Amino acid sequence: MPQGPSFWFDTRIYLAVVAALLVVIAFYNHYVALLGIVLLYTLYLYGRDRHRERRKALSQYIESMANTIDQASTYALQNLPLAIAIIDEQGQLYWSNSVLAKWFGDVHTGRSLYDVLPSLEAEKIWGKYGIVTERSGLKHYQIIHKPLEAEATGCQDFLILYINDITRTETIKAECQGAMPAFAYIQIDNYDDVLKGLTDTQRTAILAEVNRQLVDLFAGLAGFVRQFGEDTYVGIISRQALIKLMDSRFEILDKIRAIHGGNKIPVTLSLGVAADEPTIATLTQRAQAGLDLALGRGGDQAAVHVDGKMQFYGGKAKAVEKNTRVKARIVSQAIRELVEDSELVLVMGHGGEDFDSLGAALGVAKMARHDGRRIHVVVSQPGVAVNKLQELLPDYEGYEHVFITPSQAAALVDERTLLFIVDTHRPEMTAAPELLEHTERTVVIDHHRRSEVFITNPLLVYLEPSASSTSELVTELIQYYDDNIDLTRLEASALYAGIVVDTKNFAVQTGVRTFEAASYLRRAGADPTLVRHLFRVDFDTLRARAEILSNTEMLPGGVVLALCPAEAKNAQIVAAQAADMLLTIEGARVSFVLFPLEESGVGVSARSQGDINVQVIMEQMGGGGHQTVAGAQLKNISFAEARDQVIELINNYIQESDMHESNSAARGKKIR
């Protein structure tokens, strides 16, 4: 490197010192001093020239260095392991480094970056600092976006994007995730029923077949399965294998259901499976909760907790009626103890009460009154069923003011209050959801298949999806509560009406226990004339029902779809009744009636003959219900959109079932 200017400064100091010495020498010898001055001057001239040359060389060196650094930094910017793009609000490229073109092909100034990265959401990133991850084909990118404001650019606002290719990291992450364990609890739902009355050889053959199917399944998935009770198994597979199992829509359920013993009862299986949990303890807890949920929903299904949410597969078999009433007796006694420990008993059903929830509520109220407790039934708002009963109740002593509003109930409730929730177990569907926040002493009695959302920490739960109705369950509880309970004509008739509603007049979902409950109620005074009176509808309602029927479309695959007129009174009930009626059409497998919701939106009443699980379809629309009777409420949607959604879901359902069960071609026809 050339020497700098300090060298010439130093030289001049030396020359000045020599000049001073020459002055001293001149005092003694003029000739020597003169010679010294000539030499000194020559030295000065030489030094000055050398200094000029060096200064020139130095500035040339600095200039070349600057050029090199400029080139190096440009090279570095263009060849970063990052793509950089500067875009405007429309996504148009103003500048980018060459890496962007290398990764995304034809990108040039003026072209929109959103064309090459369509998943990038302009409104989410424009003007903001942040990091997003995007996928483009097989590649994954992490994008840091940073605003570049007009003040800095002197013209307009821009956004700088630093794009990092994280495909390798994401691939490794996906591989690791795929190798994580998924844990399964598996249970034969109906072990005793299937094996009842079979010979030892038949029993062994059935159990061996179940075993073989499970072992084959897990071996095929490179997993592990082990029986740990007579009807229970645990299994472990990788998360990747679980995804395969989900893609097959748990075909194992169909294979197991095809196993029949001599008594013709098909074997059904329930699975609770969990993945993506931080510890083995939470993984197994989630799997256990999934199994409870699958069993609570009637069995013959898998409840899978993956990606932070629960998904259900299967659920095609009917819930099998339990032929023992031991549980009813135990629950009844437990209820009695809770009632005796309370001062006030409140009962509520689901909002938009029907006779099942009101009949069951009056039945529970009867038990509490029998023990001398203050009781009230909390109702959401006047409706057909509430109004009908309200007209009759004042004739019965103590029932004059039995119905109260949610706000009246909130004013009464204290820590000694016992709150019964009947005919639903979903907090948001209760007549007064806010009441649940005021009391922790709750009891749930319901006949719906268990859904994921449930009343928080109830003291007691009596959930029997195989029962026809909550009124049937409450009728049994009354019989075990106290032999001396004497139902009034109205109480018995309300409970009877509850059974009638949910069984469509004893046509569906009925078991031996349904008829036994009905005959107990008849003996206790249930009056068919009064029940008929409860179900009478006004002329407008009847006309609305007729209009629905005239608006009916018969679609391929046995799908019947109808629309309820927008101005119909009691639209929900009319739609429910029409959906029931539509199933009586020859060839109808499933019916859907769309109706206007009071608070805007579209409601759906869905009914099935049994082979299509409408609960699963309605759950996909945010609703629920049972396998053959279900419903949903859709917000911010038009009738046409709701119709399209229903058709798409039933199409998918039929196609999937056909794929897995090789149903006839006619059934699999696409609906338009």
Residue numbers of the site for ligand LTCNJFPT (CB under 6 A)? 350, 354, 356-357, 423, 448, 501-502, 535, 572-573, 576-577, 605, 623-626, 629-633
**Pairing relationship of beta strands 309-314 and 301-306 according to DSSP bridges:** antiparallel
Site residue total, Mn ion (CB under 5 A): 4
215 burial level (CB within 10 Å; 0-12, 13-18, 19+): middle
Q: How many angstroms separate the first and last alpha carbons of the chain?
A: 83
CB of 602 to ligand LTCNJFPT, least distance (A): 12
Q: What is the DSSP secondary structure assignment for residue 341, as one 8-state letter?
A: T
Does the annotation flag 502 for ligand binding? yes
List phi, psi (to 5°) of 304.
-115, 120
Which partner in ligand LTCNJFPT, Mn ion, none is near 187 (CB below 5 to 8 A by kind)?
A: none
Which lies closer to ligand LTCNJFPT via its Cβ, residue 510 or residue 605?
A: 605
Which lies closer to ligand LTCNJFPT via its Cβ, residue 252 or residue 573?
A: 573
Does the annotation flag 254 for ligand binding? no
Which lies closer to Mn ion via its Cβ, residue 206 or residue 377?
A: 377
Long-range CB pairs of 46-53, under 8 A, 24+ apart, other chains included: 47/8, 47/11, 47/12, 47/15, 48/8, 51/5, 51/7, 51/8, 51/11
Which lies closer to Mn ion via its Cβ, residue 36 or residue 298?
A: 298
Q: Which of 602, 609, 618 is nearest to 650 (CA)?
A: 618
Residue 423 near Mn ion by CB under 5 A = yes
Does the annotation flag 483 for ligand binding? no
**Out of 193, 277, 446, 502, which residue is the one contacting Mn ion (CB under 5 A)?**
502
CB of 624 to Mn ion, least distance (A): 12
Which partner in ligand LTCNJFPT, Mn ion, none is near 645 (CB below 5 to 8 A by kind)?
A: none
Site map (CB under 5 A) of Mn ion, residues 464-493, x = contact:
-----x------------------------
CA 663 to chain centre: 30
464: its two tokens: 């029997």
CB of 327 to ligand LTCNJFPT, least distance (A): 20
Q: How far apart are CA 475 and CA 493, in angstroms?
A: 11
Does the annotation flag 106 for ligand binding? no
Does the annotation flag 356 for ligand binding? yes
List phi, psi (to 5°) of 223.
-115, -165
Which lies closer to ligand LTCNJFPT via its Cβ, residue 240 or residue 633?
A: 633
Location of structure tokens 């004042």 = 394
Which lies closer to Mn ion via its Cβ, residue 356 or residue 619?
A: 356
CB 143 within 8 A of CB 161: yes
Does the annotation flag 447 for ligand binding? yes
Q: How many helices (H) and strands (E) does the chain have?
A: 24, 23
CB of 271 to ligand LTCNJFPT, least distance (A): 23
Which partner in ligand LTCNJFPT, Mn ion, none is near 573 (CB below 5 to 8 A by kind)?
A: ligand LTCNJFPT
301: its two tokens: 């299904």
Which lies closer to Mn ion via its Cβ, residue 356 or residue 580?
A: 356
Q: Which of 497, 500, 503 is nearest to 468 (CA)?
A: 503
153: its two tokens: 């650019």
Binding-site residues: 350, 354, 356, 423, 447, 502
Write out the binding residues for Mn(2+): 350, 354, 356, 423, 447, 502
